[in-house]
Structure 1
Amino acid sequence: MKIPRKLALSFLIVCASAAAMMAVFFTNISLIKTATADNNAAQSKYAKALGLETALLRQNSQMRGFLVTADESYLKSYYEGRDDYDRDSAELERELEDPALRAAVVKSREETVAWREKWGDRLIKLVKGGQRDAAQAEVQSAGKAVLVSAAVLPLRDIRDSAMKSIESGSATQETAIKSATTVLIVGGILLIGIAITLAIVLSRLIAAPISGLTNTMAQLASGRNDLEVASTSRGDELGDMARAVLVFRDAARAKQAAEAASAKAEAEQKMVVETISSQLAEVAAGNLTATITREFPAEYASVRSNFNAAVESLRDLIASVIESAHSVRTGSGEIAQASEDLARRTEANAASLEQTSAAVTQMDSRLKTTATAANETVDRANGAISTVANGRSVAEEAVQAMSRVADSAKGIDGVIEGLDKIAFQTRVLAMNAAVEAGRAGEAGRGFAVVADLVSALAMRAEEEAGRARDQLTATQTDIVAAVDMVQKVDTALEHISGDVGEVHALLGRIALDNQAQSTAITQVSTAIGTMDHSTQQNAAMVEQTSAAARNLASEVTQLADKASQFRVSSGGAPRPQKASFTGGTPKRLPPKAVAALVRNTSSDDWREF
């Protein structure tokens, strides 16, 4: 049997045992879950039945409390118990599945309704109607008939049934829990035993042979080719591994035999490598005239011919590079000098444009500031015009208010005159009363005293009315003066309003002119900024071109120096003179030299190189 099948069978045994244990455990858990749900339902029914009994007893007790005290607070609790009973009774009837228990709920409800009609609601109406003594006497004479026992007894059956269901579910839960615990313990022990047994069996069948093969392979790697390989007759993967190790051993033996035959070939190969190495050293030293003249074995003849052809092509290429480098160096020097002159002129233009742009920007900023200030001044002028208009309206209102105050003062003057008349008549009446009291003798003495007091009060009222008239006259004079001053203020505000309006128009024209100038300057500044940006870019590009030309001249000089190190003929090659660009303007290349430069740089020698 193959190793994967052995491992699969082992895992299958473990999984089957675990699945059996989990199935039994799941069955017990499901039983516990079902019993718990039944217990919860039974407890809910029990609680609602108990709640119905409590609601009935509550109605009975609260009705009796109202009969005794006539306190309305008992009725609130009575009605709450009635509502609770009606709601819970309907819910309990829907939850019950047994027809007998549902009939018990219906019977309890019917008895409750009958009790309310006969006793509860009827007696409450009597007490509210002022017949509390009659209601109390009726309850005392009724005895047990007024109790709610007939409605409570059917609910006891529901409670007993729910209690039996709870006890049965609890017993089922305990049994299922014990069974699940037993299955878990026994199953765990069995799984551990099965795992240990399979580990021992697999170790003997797989691990031990693998260790033996590993040891055999280590000895083969150390050079021992005379070993015997075990487990080659097995039909599983370990047998395949053992047969593979056997192949390695045979291959090692064959390699050992072939090493002796390859010694001769190695000697010839060493001669060829030494010869090529010596000639490559000559080429590396710059001697491109070095060729291989020694005869090679037939299998290496192509290497000799290819080396000689490559050295010849490289020699021709280097000679062409030396000639082209001189021409390119002269042209790159001229380009570098021209680029530097152009860069200096471009930088000077860019600096001038930058200064012009800064000046225009400053002008634009100042014009914008002036325009903003003019706009703010216009806004302030608008506010001043509005304030002056408000002041005129306030002055007009003040004049009207002063006129109304003057009119009111005239009315007050009439009131004071009426008070003078009343005081005078009161004093006359007091004098008449004193005369009559004198005539009455002793009987009118008290009345005479009162007449004197009334006369004194009338004289005091006349004095106070005189003072009020004087004060009112002074107030009227001040009001007339105030009206004149307010009218003068109104006239001044009118003149100010006209002047501020003219200033407002002038500032508006100034603001429009400033805005137009600011717009024009902004456009000019934008154009100059664009020119400045373009000039800066051109200067940067010219600078980059100049730097590239200088780098090109430097690279060509280095290329010529390096190319001059090679010897391309038996007499050697003269080094080209370096071009100098320290002063003056380089000479322009003639058209023929430019054509030769283009022709040389596009020849096939570059592709060969």
Structure 2
Amino acid sequence: MLKSLKIPRKLGLSFLVICASAAAMMAVFFTNISMIRETTALNNAAQGRYAKALALETALLRQNSQMRGYLVTGDKSYLKSYEEGRVDYDKTSVELETELTDSKLRDAVQLSRKETLAWRENWGDRLIRRVDRGDLTGAQAEVQQAGKAVLVSAAVLPLRDVRDAQLALIEKGSATQESAIDTATTVLIVGGIALIGIAITLAWLLSRAIASPIASLTRTMSDLASGRNGVDVDGTDRADELGDMARAVLVFRDAAVAKQAAEAAAAKAEAEQKMVVETVSSHLSELAGGNLTAEITREFPADYAAVKANFNAAVTSLRGLIASVMEATVSIHTGSGRIAETSEDLARRTEANAASLEQTSAAIVQMDQRLKTTAAAAGETVERANGAIGTVANGRSVAEEAVSAMGRVADSAKGIDSVIEGLDKIAFQTRVLAMNAAVEAGRAGEAGRGFAVVADLVSALAMRAEEEAGRARDQLTATQTDIVAAVEMVQKVDSALVEISSDVGEVHSLLDRIAQDNQAQSFAITEVSSAIGTMDQTTRQTSAMVEESSAAARNLANEVTYLADQAGQFTVGSDAAGATRRSPVHAMQDRVAQSLSADMWDAA
């Protein structure tokens, strides 16, 4: 079955099996993740309801404590906290009742609200109104006589039932999460092992169905490459791509057999080619020895007849060219001698002009260097003026930072004043707590005497703290006065630095104009020096070119002599030498001499 399937179909079926297994594992894993997510949402909701129930208890206790503080001290600031606790309770109780789905728990919240309203009517709001009417002592006495009746326990107890119920839901949800996590972990481990096993099995099957036949075809192609054309090709009966490859290898084997037959026919043609190469090589050896009369007379096969004709024509042309060169060398030698004498005279005159230009250029360079030195000194003076301006600017920035630091110190002093005011309030609250503790100790009777003594000591300590805060405030006032004086002095220093900066700026402007004038003069002298230097360099180049022309003419005479000697080594035959025409050679000599003379006069 695997032999009849194409390779892409085999690979596709293998990947389909792996993907199906992975999809099944992912479905189970997703189910457990969804369960964990749902349980987490329920736990979060239960935790929110638990927090709101706890907030309701805190609001009730806050109302009770702030009402007691107001009854003890008569301070209106307790009423603000009392009202805040009241608003928090009313808002949170409505939200909690809306979120609860259990009727018993909703009834508990409603019962708590009912008890809270009754407590406000019977105790909280009524006693506050009594104090507002001026009967603080009567309200305190009523609270002391009421004992536990003034507490908010009846409103707090139903809320604890709600807290316990939400805590039970949270624990149940946590257990469900742990179970789902364990299941997901098990599925992940088992599914992963199963996928690995499936992958290994498919890899083994694909290796037998694809890799092994490919290795066999590779060995067969290696045998064909090494020249063993009698090998058998396996797998030609397969219907997949490997069968196509096997049939292609079979075609290669048949082609190799046909190639062997063609090589035998090529051996005969190679023998004829060898004869032609040997003949041409022997005549080329004679040409290398200087014999320009060595033409091919041996008969060549019809395919190589053009090689013989071309070789003989090239030898004839070369023999005529060498004969012309031998005659032209004599005339060129005479003309190059006259050119060399003229070039030497022109070189002497050019060197004299170059020496005069060199002296002028040296004088201009000295003037340029002195102006550049003056411009550099002016520039350095400007840079130092810039440094002075920067120093003054830094001084102003330091003065501004000092003023800013003084301002921050003043702000810090104001913050310290507010801290001292807070300490006054803390001392006052401490006295209030001491009074409240004294009231509670009085209600306790004999058992509270020791606590009453501690309350008196705390009250004395609070009075002493108020006195120390007053002293600190006086010292802070004196410090603020000194800070204001210091800020005024720093501002005067900043004004002086502004005047200095203005004067230094004017000096900087004058120095900058001087430096610009010096730089302009230096630039002009530099341009003149550059022009003279260019003229000097051009004159020297002209002199060098004339000397090179003279040397080239001498070398040309020597080379012509050498060329005549070399041309004399060739054998051209008496007929070829006599048949050479002289007029084109003489014309070429005249053109070369005229061209060299014109180049030398242009350079001068």
Give me the TM-score of the superposition, normalised by structure 2: 0.59
Does the residue aligned with 1:234 lie in a helix, a strand or coil? coil
**Corresponding residue number in structure 2 for 1:595:** 591
| Contact 2:6–2:241 (CA under 8 A) maintained in structure 1 | yes
User: 2:267 is matched with which residue: 251, 263, 269?
Assistant: 263
Q: Distance in 2 between matches of 1:559 and 1:111?
A: 134
When residues 249 and 373 of structure 1 are mapped into structure 2, their CA distance, relative to the original with a 3 A threshold, is: closer
**Corresponding residue number in structure 1 for 2:530:** 530
Does the residue aligned with 1:233 lie in a helix, a strand or coil? coil
Q: Distance in 2 between matches of 1:528 and 1:166?
A: 98
When residues 233 and 553 of structure 1 are mapped into structure 2, their CA distance, relative to the original with a 3 A threshold, is: farther
AA paired with 2:73? A
User: 1:348 is matched with which residue: 355, 374, 394?
Assistant: 355
- Does residue 235 in structure 1 map to residue 239 in structure 2? yes
Q: Note the C-alpha offset of 1:236.
A: 1.6
Q: Distance in 2 between matches of 1:85 and 1:562?
A: 127
| Contact 2:59–2:89 (CA under 8 A) maintained in structure 1 | no
When residues 373 and 60 of structure 1 are mapped into structure 2, their CA distance, relative to the original with a 3 A threshold, is: closer
Aligned 1:329-408 pairs, distance under 5 A: 344=351, 347-364=354-371
User: 1:301 is matched with which residue: 300, 305, 320?
Assistant: 305
Q: Note the C-alpha offset of 1:298.
A: 0.9
- Does residue 253 in structure 1 map to residue 257 in structure 2? yes
| Contact 2:59–2:88 (CA under 8 A) maintained in structure 1 | no
Shifted more, 540-549 versus 261-270: the winner is 540-549
Q: Distance in 2 between matches of 1:546 and 1:47?
A: 109
| Contact 1:289–1:568 (CA under 8 A) maintained in structure 2 | no
| Contact 2:60–2:89 (CA under 8 A) maintained in structure 1 | no
When residues 320 and 109 of structure 1 are mapped into structure 2, their CA distance, relative to the original with a 3 A threshold, is: farther
Does the residue aligned with 1:6 lie in a helix, a strand or coil? helix
When residues 311 and 597 of structure 1 are mapped into structure 2, their CA distance, relative to the original with a 3 A threshold, is: farther
| Contact 1:339–1:545 (CA under 8 A) maintained in structure 2 | no
| Contact 1:70–1:127 (CA under 8 A) maintained in structure 2 | no
AA paired with 2:215? S
**Corresponding residue number in structure 2 for 1:58:** 62
**Corresponding residue number in structure 2 for 1:387:** none
- Does residue 21 in structure 1 map to residue 17 in structure 2? no
**Corresponding residue number in structure 1 for 2:453:** none
**Corresponding residue number in structure 1 for 2:152:** 148
Q: Note the C-alpha offset of 1:227.
A: 2.0
Offset from partner CA, 1:398-420 (integer Å, 9 cap, x none): xxxxxxxxxxxxxxxxxxxxxxx
Offset from partner CA, 1:88-125 (integer Å, 9 cap, x none): 87478668645778998788678657755654465457
RMSD, matched Cα = 5.1
**Corresponding residue number in structure 2 for 1:38:** 42
**Corresponding residue number in structure 1 for 2:447:** none
User: 2:182 is matched with which residue: 161, 174, 178?
Assistant: 178
Aligned 1:557-568 pairs, distance under 5 A: 565=566
| Contact 1:349–1:535 (CA under 8 A) maintained in structure 2 | no
User: What residue ranges of structure 1 are gaps of 5+ in the alignment?
Assistant: 376-510, 575-589, 600-609
When residues 364 and 258 of structure 1 are mapped into structure 2, their CA distance, relative to the original with a 3 A threshold, is: closer
Aligned 1:20-169 pairs, distance under 5 A: 20-64=24-68, 67=71, 70=73, 83=84, 86=87, 90=91, 97-98=99-100, 115=119, 119-120=123-124, 123=127, 131-142=135-146, 145-149=149-153, 151-152=155-156, 155-156=159-160, 158-160=162-164, 162-169=166-173
Q: Note the C-alpha offset of 1:353.
A: 3.6
Q: Distance in 1 between matches of 2:46 and 2:149?
A: 32
Q: Distance in 1 between matches of 2:13 and 2:306?
A: 64
- Count, aligned residues: 445
When residues 190 and 75 of structure 1 are mapped into structure 2, their CA distance, relative to the original with a 3 A threshold, is: same
When residues 357 and 591 of structure 1 are mapped into structure 2, their CA distance, relative to the original with a 3 A threshold, is: farther
Q: Note the C-alpha offset of 1:174.
A: 2.5
Q: Distance in 1 between matches of 2:43 and 2:321?
A: 104
Q: Distance in 2 between matches of 1:110 and 1:330?
A: 138
Q: Distance in 2 between matches of 1:238 and 1:119?
A: 99
Q: Distance in 2 between matches of 1:31 and 1:562?
A: 106
Offset from partner CA, 1:149-180 (integer Å, 9 cap, x none): 45535644653554354244324322321331
AA paired with 2:210? I
Q: Note the C-alpha offset of 1:274.
A: 1.9
**Corresponding residue number in structure 1 for 2:10:** 6
Aligned 1:280-299 pairs, distance under 5 A: 280-284=284-288, 289-299=293-303
Does the residue aligned with 1:265 lie in a helix, a strand or coil? helix
Q: Distance in 1 between matches of 2:303 and 2:202?
A: 63
| Contact 1:336–1:549 (CA under 8 A) maintained in structure 2 | yes
Bigger CA radius of gyration: 1
Q: Distance in 2 between matches of 1:224 and 1:29?
A: 65
When residues 363 and 143 of structure 1 are mapped into structure 2, their CA distance, relative to the original with a 3 A threshold, is: closer
Q: Note the C-alpha offset of 1:65.
A: 5.4
Offset from partner CA, 1:371-414 (integer Å, 9 cap, x none): 99999xxxxxxxxxxxxxxxxxxxxxxxxxxxxxxxxxxxxxxx
User: What residue ranges of structure 2 are gaps of 5+ in the alignment?
Assistant: 383-510, 578-585, 596-604
Q: Distance in 1 between matches of 2:26 and 2:139?
A: 70
Q: Note the C-alpha offset of 1:184.
A: 1.0
**Corresponding residue number in structure 1 for 2:396:** none
Give me the TM-score of the superposition, normalised by structure 1: 0.58
Q: Note the C-alpha offset of 1:565.
A: 4.1
AA paired with 1:525? I
| Contact 2:25–2:188 (CA under 8 A) maintained in structure 1 | yes
Q: Note the C-alpha offset of 1:13.
A: 1.8
AA paired with 2:227? G
Q: Distance in 2 between matches of 1:336 and 1:122?
A: 135
AA paired with 1:595? R
| Contact 1:139–1:146 (CA under 8 A) maintained in structure 2 | yes
When residues 350 and 107 of structure 1 are mapped into structure 2, their CA distance, relative to the original with a 3 A threshold, is: farther
**Corresponding residue number in structure 1 for 2:197:** 193
**Corresponding residue number in structure 1 for 2:426:** none
